[in-house]
Amino acid sequence: MALSMEMMRICVIGAGPSGMSMLYHLAKMEEQGKRIPDVVCYEKQSDCGGLWNFDWRTGVDEHGEPIHCSMYRHLWTNLPKECFEFPDYTFDQHFGKAIPSFPTREVILDYLNGRWKTVNAKKFVRLNTIVKNVIHNPDKDNFTVWARDQDDEKDLPPEQFSHIVVATGHYSFPNMPYFKGVETFPGRVLHSHDFRDAREFTGKRLLVIGSRYSAEDISLQCVKFGATNVVCSSRSGPMGLKWPAEIQERPLLERIEGQTVYFKDGTSTEVDVVIYCTGYKHTFNFLADNLRLQTENTIYPPNLYKGIIWVKAGNKRLMYIGMQDQYYTMTMFDVQSFWACRVILGEMILPENATMETDIARWIQRLENVTSFADAVDFQTEYVMDLCRESGYQHNLDVKYLFTDLDRNRKESMITCRDNVFKSKFTGTVSNKHTKPFMDAFDDSYDAFVN
Amino acid sequence: MALSMEMMRICVIGAGPSGMSMLYHLAKMEEQGKRIPDVVCYEKQSDCGGLWNFDWRTGVDEHGEPIHCSMYRHLWTNLPKECFEFPDYTFDQHFGKAIPSFPTREVILDYLNGRWKTVNAKKFVRLNTIVKNVIHNPDKDNFTVWARDQDDEKDLPPEQFSHIVVATGHYSFPNMPYFKGVETFPGRVLHSHDFRDAREFTGKRLLVIGSRYSAEDISLQCVKFGATNVVCSSRSGPMGLKWPAEIQERPLLERIEGQTVYFKDGTSTEVDVVIYCTGYKHTFNFLADNLRLQTENTIYPPNLYKGIIWVKAGNKRLMYIGMQDQYYTMTMFDVQSFWACRVILGEMILPENATMETDIARWIQRLENVTSFADAVDFQTEYVMDLCRESGYQHNLDVKYLFTDLDRNRKESMITCRDNVFKSKFTGTVSNKHTKPFMDAFDDSYDAFVN
């Protein structure tokens, strides 16, 4: 049943890049003269930006709620900015000049804020407000949301919504498997979620468990900032990347005895610190069980039509943005959001359940053939372009060729891969070189990077 | 209105020393032939014992819930065991021989388990189950509890209870105030809640913020395990204790700039690590606002009649155990629990509201005169003895004289104060000396301590 504008109320949960893209498009549609429904976005942090905010705290916040931040100092993006540039708000437009291709955290957050400001997208956001519970009411076919104002330390009255958009990210709740004997390790054991600054590990011997982006980047950062050496252990075998001499790869950890770590191949070594770069869990403790996406980190999670619409309950008015494993990032969230907004406004009609199920099954079946970085980029390019076409998104977001260049650069050398320049698809601008190579650039401030 | 046994259902939240004392007394009463009501205890950890369990994890657990553990390796109690010995289950009875006065974590947990086993108190406990929400229903004058089975990852059906006993402790949610510039500090910033092993800090220069037990003990542990030096900063001025040469005291921290920390007196120093020993917050995110105890850490929290009965809502059937700042510990929880059990069973009748309010006010007014350790012990001794008398607890728990000895030992030297022996009030047994002085004893295992 189509809802009238009066019957619609949208609750967006989370004001990171995904949630803010929802708000951006709604605000933009409003600016363009469309009527939009009532919208509220609850954000537990004290500012918008999601993971792009830095928090010196780890563990829980002042209110006893899990810290969202997995961000650390000296982070440069691991994708060239040309891979996630917004076609309707380019880096040229924001900075007024060419800047390097691998920006630091503050620079990215500044860029995001710039785009949000163009339509005042933050006006819908209620900061320092945590969502505690969401249920679907089958009788009224709507949702009840319980939220809490953390400033006032008071529960808000429960509110009803026609639509829920879950945009809380999936890089905040550590996946931290047990290894035999880890409880006997005398040094620090941490997850990348709690990693804040590589300088904590200067002069230390590290064990890094994992083989994906966090493992790569944290290993490299630690060597850059003076770790004695890093042993990377992973289930999936060597990453096949060229590392500095201080980084060695080993098979999966088998057990720990005091400071000695043993690997599956029978070798062992002594380390001072164990860093789990074992990824994150999709955790939605604020959702009723029948609304919870349960998935591994995959480029096509189950039970989401077009990667967005929850098909199991809630009459297709529960949506998820940005829950995929990501190659495309900001631009993917953006076209997902645009697609979702058009569906909410009734400008696009969802097919029958059976058709949706078939569509999901078709995509998931194709996952079997995805075995390389290039395959995954191909898959996600197709997914993004499918959303572009369906929603009538005004721009072609395909930047597969940039990922190909990135892949080659990474294989040439992890040490130098961030020193390359890329050309913007939308402005033709070639980024300029950073004044220093990545491994020699120790200042990650906005000023050092942009000015 | 008195409830019949059939109308009663008791929900105990938390199976640490406080919650287990509730279950111990209920089980004991049952054994003695009394009829007891239906009881369930929800515990989020995988075993009973509360803070006496060690967890190698910090931050959040596998389910995204805050880690309860604030326990660290090599912890010896900071009270002689004679200060918290159960008269009905003495250390002699448990160990069959004299042991030293300041046991390590495993030894204490073993002792607690021994007592619980005598009446099979664990039979009421549902482990790996987290309480998500508790409300009071004014119409039925009962409580609804929503819990979640973390093993099955499923919400349990909401259940109704006549009584709620909150025994979740108050040393799990960090109080971590902001100091100017802390976000620029390049080293690790942690709260004592996340401190797991002093050996992480060997060779480091530490700033410890705080002046109470965590600050004392963590400073001492770190020096014991090779920290280069420790600067203790506190609002309340020097602790007035004799420290090893590696520990210096300074006034409150004023600001941080990179690795340099500045104090209120204008002095500064460079440090590698900042450890907040700034205490904990009473955090009850699972309770409705009108049921939440809101308090600083004090020996007489507001709105709790006899330190137990929540007088603000819930018709005096919401109880809190162990929410006081603690001198007496296990024995205080025990007499509180016994008192609460007798009230629940209708064997003791609560006075009118006005009388309860007056009683609370009288105790809180007397807090004004509590300015020293000795005053606080006096106050809490009186409180404990008041509960003993009222409830008809079978033993006299007054061990004020032991606290006096402890205070003297501490003032003589923090380094040696744990090397003293104490005499059990209940058995007359004098504890034996540990084979090594505290500062030279590096093995905290059960075997090293007991055998």
Q: Nearest by CB to B186, which of A60, A194, A199? A: A199
If you count residue pairs, one on A and one on B, with CB atoms under 8 Å apart, how many are there?
98
CB A235 within 8 A of CB A177: no
Distance in angstroms (rounded) separating the CA atoms of residues B418 and B415: 8
pLDDT tens, position by position, A59-105: 999 999 999 999 999 999 999 999 999 999 999 999 999 999 999 99
Residue A328 has pLDDT above 60, yes or no: yes
Instruction: Return all residues near A361 (Cβ < 8 A) that are at least 6 apart.
Output: none
Distance in angstroms (rounded) separating the CA atoms of residues B48 and B45: 7
Identity (one letter) of the amino acid at B250? R
Distance in angstroms (rounded) separating the CA atoms of residues A31 and A116: 13
Q: Please report the pLDDT score of residue A173 as a whole number.
A: 98
**Across chain A, what does the average pLDDT equal?**
96
Residue/partner pairs of B381-388 with CB below 8 Å, 24 or more apart: B381/B327, B381/B328, B383/B299, B383/B300, B383/B307, B383/B324, B383/B332, B384/B328, B384/B331, B384/B332, B384/B335, B386/B306, B387/B306, B387/B335, B387/B336, B387/B338, B387/B339, B388/B335
Residue A240 has pLDDT above 80, yes or no: no
Phi, psi at residue A161, to the nearest 5°?
-135, 150
Q: In chain B, which residues have pLDDT < 70? A: 1
Distance in angstroms (rounded) separating the CA atoms of residues B179 and B184: 11
Beta bridge partners of B133: B146
pLDDT tens, position by position, A140-187: 999 999 999 999 999 999 999 999 999 999 999 999 999 999 999 999
CB burial of residue A165 (10 Å; 0-12, 13-18, 19+):
buried
Q: Considering only CA atoms, give the Rg of chain B.
A: 22
A280: left (phi over 0), alpha (psi -120 to 50) or beta: beta
Q: Where are the alpha helices (DSSP H) in A56-210?
A: 91-95, 105-118
Q: Nearest by CB to A59, which of B62, B193, B288? A: B193
Q: Please report the pLDDT score of residue B1 as a whole number.
A: 57
Q: What is the ipTM of this complex?
A: 0.95
Taking residues A332-361, report their average pLDDT. 97
CB contact under 8 A, B66 and A59: yes
Interface-testing mutation among A57, A209, A284, with chain B (most B C-beta atoms within 10 A): A57
pLDDT tens, position by position, A28-45: 999 999 999 999 999 999
- CA angle, corner A391, sides to A386 and A392, nearest 5? 100
CB contact under 8 A, B66 and A64: yes
Q: Output the CA–CA distances (angstroms, integers) from residue A63 to A50, A150, B298, in the order listed.
A: 18, 7, 19
Which positions in chain A touch B281 (Cβ < 8 Å)? 62, 64
Concatenating the DSSP letter of every residue in A119-161 gives TTGGGGEE-SEEEEEEEEETTTTEEEEEEEETTTTEEPPPEEE
Q: Please report the pLDDT score of residue A451 as a whole number.
A: 83
CB A250 within 8 A of CB A265: yes
CB B71 within 8 A of CB B52: yes
Beta bridge partners of B262: B255, B268
CB contact under 8 A, B173 and A64: yes
DSSP SS3 for A280: strand
Distance in angstroms (rounded) separating the CA atoms of residues A205 and A246: 10
Q: Please report the pLDDT score of residue A363 as a whole number.
A: 98
CB B12 within 8 A of CB B168: no
DSSP SS3 for A237: coil
Identity (one letter) of the amino acid at B19? G
- Name the DSSP class of B325: -
The structure tokens listed for B411 are 């003032």
Taking residues A375-398, report their average pLDDT. 98
CB proximity B123 to A under 8 Å: no
Distance in angstroms (rounded) separating the CA atoms of residues B250 and B253: 8
Residue bearing the bigger pLDDT, A414 or B115 = B115
Q: How confident is the model at residue A281 (pLDDT cuts 50, 70, 90)?
A: very high
Identity (one letter) of the amino acid at A264? K
Q: Please report the pLDDT score of residue B21 as a whole number.
A: 98
Domains identified in chain B and CATH numbers:
5-173+280-403 (3.50.50.60), 176-276 (3.50.50.60)
Q: Please report the pLDDT score of residue A239 as a whole number.
A: 75
Which positions in chain A touch B58 (Cβ < 8 Å)? 58-59, 190, 194
SS (H, E, C) B406-447: HHHHHHHCCCCHHHCCCECCCCCCECCCCCCCHHHCCCCCHH
Longest dimension (CA), chain B: 67
Closest chain B C-alpha to A94 CA, distance in angstroms:
27
Identity (one letter) of the amino acid at A328? Y
Residue B234's closest CA among B214, B259, B268, B208?
A: B208
Q: How confident is the model at residue A1 (pLDDT cuts 50, 70, 90)?
A: low
Closest chain B C-alpha to A195 CA, distance in angstroms:
9
CB contact under 8 A, B64 and A186: no
Residue A293's closest CA among A276, A307, A278?
A: A307
Interface-testing mutation among A188, A192, A272, A292, with chain B (most B C-beta atoms within 10 A): A188
Distance in angstroms (rounded) separating the CA atoms of residues A232 and B22: 48
Q: Please report the pLDDT score of residue B315 as a whole number.
A: 86
Which positions in chain B touch A285 (Cβ < 8 Å)? 63-65
- The A residues from 27 to 66 touching B (CB cutoff 8 Å) are 54, 56-60, 62-66
CB B67 within 8 A of CB B55: yes
